[in-house]
């Protein structure tokens, strides 16, 4: 593969002169905690440990996964690549130590090496290929850090990994997941392919990969009473939400329709059918959308399974739909879905003085990010959405004392983790974004920033 010359990237200026806020102060305290937890691995690179689910113990989720404590992987949501994004954002806050930016760059570069070596040797990467933990998400995270800090070498390495990963999808479709979920499934690989940084020669492989993945997702669809649905990994049950439900699958398909002409009509139709099924389950009187994993469903109130994730998907889909000639009805439906998600998510609030979950995945930060993602999606109403996010985020900044919050995070039944998905890294990133949205992208967004599509990337 011949790589295009790496452009010299201008460093995005840090926000050292802006007024301080409680969100910046708490984000800095959490970032300092992240830095204090860093260790040096056998290659002399920064690494972190924590409790996590071992994906190898239950690859299709048909059996309960095992908890393990040890080094985090290199993933975006689960490991070093995501911590690099959080440290990068924190380094641009007022009063942040300048060395945090350098640590972010080193961490992102370290996260690239393992999957790049595996793919260069024609070996399936240990952490997979997809968005949340795999090579595609790692490449995207490294590109974000490279852009923030003006590092052309890191940017070039991220594009090389992105190209290797996209070509692996095309060359080895037998390695792809056998379920459609965004988290760990085909929709997550699709989101990763669409947002991966690539050199120009790899763009044709991106289009081929998108077509392949849309076909695979379509083949797994089942007819519902209304619309179409997909069984969650390891189950015959279809669920609502971003991580494993219709909202996540529809988001990836909508982005595919906006990006690859050959997949446009097919992907857009599937996305519309997915949302018809999910919206048919909404019941405002019962608190929103049910968590269908439960024998007696209650309203789902988490980013992974529930209203906040539905809202994130709606906010990300609406601008993509509005930009198409035929998407006005679906765009209006996305706005309605966001309004419903916002109303349902109001129930996700701490009560009394009891410790509460602060994480992005199943805690309060996921609700905060729903509002912040909406602020990015709808600039005309950004002030309102940021105000809503900050009002909720004060629960995170004012619980306990500086550096010692009383909210919890980490794997349920396990200990704390520094990663983005369930750990303090994700909360740090969310609070940094509450201070200033431009310091970094949302970990709740599978594309890790404004999705412009491959065509816009080619023109950049």
Decide: 363 and 407 in contact? Cβ < 8 Å.
yes
- Cα separation, 359 vs 367, whole angstroms: 10
From the list 169, 184, 191, the residue with the least C-alpha distance to 252 is 191
Decide: 250 and 311 in contact? Cβ < 8 Å.
no
- Cα separation, 305 vs 314, whole angstroms: 14
pLDDT band per the 50, 70, 90 thresholds, residue 210: very high
Structure tokens at 268: 């857009």
Angle at 234 between CA 228 and CA 236, to 5 degrees: 45
Diameter of the chain by CA atoms? 59
Domain residue spans in the chain?
199-343
Of 48-52, 240-244, 356-360, give the lowest mean pLDDT range: 48-52
Q: Is the dihedral of CA 301, 305, 307, 311 positive or negative?
A: positive
Please tell me the predicted confidence (pLDDT) of residue 56. 64
Q: How many Cβ atoms from other residues are within 10 Å of residue 171's Cβ?
A: 13
Note the pLDDT tens digit of each residue in 36-77. 999 999 899 999 998 866 666 666 556 666 777 889 999 999
- 67: helix, coil or strand? strand
Please tell me the predicted confidence (pLDDT) of residue 412. 61
Note the pLDDT tens digit of each residue in 403-451. 677 888 877 655 678 999 999 999 999 999 999 999 999 999 999 987 5
From the list 224, 257, 255, the residue with the least C-alpha distance to 239 is 224
Please tell me the predicted confidence (pLDDT) of residue 410. 73
Please tell me the predicted confidence (pLDDT) of residue 414. 56
pTM of the model: 0.91
Q: Say whether pLDDT at 109 is over 60.
A: yes
Structure tokens at 67: 């908890």
* Mean pLDDT over each residue of the chain, to the nearest integer: 89
Distances (CA, A) of 12 to 71, 119, 438: 31, 31, 10
Q: What is the DSSP string of 150-192?
A: T-HHHHHHHHHHHHHHHHHHHH-GGGS-SS--TTTSHHHHHHH
From the list 448, 440, 458, the residue with the least C-alpha distance to 192 is 448
Note the pLDDT tens digit of each residue in 248-299. 999 999 999 999 887 888 899 999 999 999 999 999 999 999 999 888 879 9
Per the DSSP assignment, residues forming a β-bridge with 313 are: none
Q: How many Cβ atoms from other residues are within 10 Å of residue 351's Cβ?
A: 6
Please tell me the predicted confidence (pLDDT) of residue 349. 79
Please tell me the predicted confidence (pLDDT) of residue 408. 84
- Cα separation, 288 vs 300, whole angstroms: 8
Structure tokens at 81: 């690549």
Decide: 254 and 191 in contact? Cβ < 8 Å.
no
Note the pLDDT tens digit of each residue in 11-34. 444 444 468 999 999 999 999 999
- Cα separation, 15 vs 366, whole angstroms: 25
Q: What is the dihedral of CA 106, 197, 83, 361, to 10 degrees?
A: -170
Stretch 178-182: mean pLDDT: 97
| E strands in 362-437 | 400-401, 404-405
Please tell me the predicted confidence (pLDDT) of residue 5. 36
From the list 409, 395, 325, the residue with the least C-alpha distance to 363 is 409
Please tell me the predicted confidence (pLDDT) of residue 452. 45
């Amino acid at each position: 593969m011949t790589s295009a010359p790496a452009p010299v990237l201008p460093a995005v200026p840090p926000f050292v002169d802006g007024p301080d806020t409680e969100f910046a102060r708490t984000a800095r305290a959490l970032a300092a905690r992240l830095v204090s937890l860093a260790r040096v691995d056998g290659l002399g690179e920064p690494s972190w440990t924590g409790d996590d689910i071992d994906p190898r113990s239950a690859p299709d989720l048909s059996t309960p996964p095992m908890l393990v404590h040890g080094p985090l992987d290199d993933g975006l949501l689960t490991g070093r690549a995501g911590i690099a994004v959080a440290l990068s954002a924190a380094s641009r806050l007022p009063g942040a130590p300048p060395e945090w930016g350098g640590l972010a760059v080193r961490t992102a570069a370290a996260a690239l090496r393992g999957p790049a070596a595996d793919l260069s040797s024609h070996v399936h990467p240990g952490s997979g290929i997809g968005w949340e933990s795999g090579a595609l998400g790692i490449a995207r995270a490294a590109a974000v850090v490279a852009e923030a800090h003006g590092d052309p070498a890191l940017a070039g390495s991220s594009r090389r990994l992105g190209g290797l990963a996209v070509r692996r999808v095309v060359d080895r479709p037998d390695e792809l997941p056998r379920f459609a979920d965004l988290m760990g499934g085909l929709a997550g690989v699709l989101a990763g392919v669409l947002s991966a940084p690539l050199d120009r020669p790899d763009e044709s492989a991106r289009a081929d990969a998108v077509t392949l993945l849309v076909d695979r997702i379509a083949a797994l669809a089942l007819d519902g009473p209304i619309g179409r649905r997909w069984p969650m990994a390891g189950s015959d049950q279809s669920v609502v939400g971003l991580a494993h439900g219709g909202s996540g699958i529809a988001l990836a398909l909508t982005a595919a329709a906006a990006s690859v002409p050959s997949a446009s009509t097919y992907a857009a139709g599937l996305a519309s059918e997915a949302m018809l099924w999910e919206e048919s389950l909404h019941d405002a009187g019962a608190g929103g959308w049910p968590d269908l994993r439960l024998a007696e469903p209650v309203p789902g109130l988490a980013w992974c399974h529930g209203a906040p994730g539905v809202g994130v998907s709606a906010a990300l889909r609406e601008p993509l739909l509005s930009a198409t000639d035929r998407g006005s009805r679906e765009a209006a439906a996305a706005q309605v879905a966001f309004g419903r998600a916002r109303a349902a998510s109001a129930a996700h609030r701490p009560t009394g003085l009891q410790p509460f979950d602060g994480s992005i995945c199943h805690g309060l930060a996921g609700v905060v990010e729903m509002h912040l993602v909406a602020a990015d999606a709808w600039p005309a109403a950004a002030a309102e959405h940021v105000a809503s996010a900050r009002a909720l985020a004060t629960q995170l900044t004012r619980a306990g004392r500086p550096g010692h919050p009383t909210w919890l995070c980490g794997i349920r039944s396990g200990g704390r983790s520094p990663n983005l998905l369930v750990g303090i890294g994700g909360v740090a990133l969310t609070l940094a974004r509450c201070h200033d949205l431009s310091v970094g992208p949302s970990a709740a967004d599978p594309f890790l920033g404004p999705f412009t599509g491959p065509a816009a990337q080619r023109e950049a």
